Amino acid sequence: DVKVTQSSRYLVKRTGEKVFLECVQDMDHENMFWYRQDPGLGLRLIYFSYDVKMKEKGDIPEGYSVSREKKERFSLILESASTNQTSMYLCASSLEGIYEKLFFGSGTQLSVL
């Protein structure tokens, strides 16, 4: 089975801090995604990447950046965390050309105080 691992299950940060969320997949997938999930809003796409050093904006990229230096790792960066970025963050990956079959990590619940 594909394994998508997110570095932290729970994270508490302060307003203004720079926050790194790490995601690693072990199945040599080309595509990686970052979503956030909030009650009543479902999953919303932040950024995605279809290759090393490539990135594309999703629907809500403001306040976030990403980094993909290696194929297996996709990092989400909150440059200056704000309280409205308190959320569940989900990383996912998929094979090239099979965009709709995503494999998700267990998520990181981030609280910004």
Partner 1 sequence: LAKTTQPISMDSYEGQEVNITCSHNNIATNDYITWYQQFPSQGPRFIIQGYKTKVTNEVASLFIPADRKSSTLSLPRVSLSDTAVYYCLVGENRDDKIIFGKGTRLHILP
Tell me: does residue 74 bind partner 1 (CB under 8 A). no
Nearest-approach distance from CB 33 to partner 1, in angstroms: 7
Residue by residue, DSSP assigns 20-43 as EEEEEESS--SEEEEEEEETTTEE
Spell out, one character per residue from 1 to 40, where the chain touches partner 1: x when CB under 8 A holds, - when not.
---x----------------------------x-x----x
Give the span between the Cα atoms of 64 and 62, in whole angstroms: 6
- The β-bridge partners of 108 are 89
Count of residues engaged in binding partner 1, rule: CB under 8 A: 28
CB closer to partner 1 out of 43 and 77:
43
Nearest distance in Å: CB 69, partner 1: 21
Structure tokens at 33: 């995604």
Q: Examine residue 69 and tell whether it contacts partner 1 (CB under 8 A).
A: no
Q: How far is CA 18 from CA 41, 44, 50, 85, in A?
A: 25, 21, 25, 12
Q: Please tell me whether residue 77 binds partner 1 under the rule CB under 8 A.
A: no
Query: With 0-12 CB in 10 A as exposed, 13-18 as middle and 19+ as buried, what is 97?
Result: exposed
Residues in touch with partner 1 (CB under 8 A):
4, 33, 35, 40-45, 48, 50, 56, 58-59, 90-92, 97-107
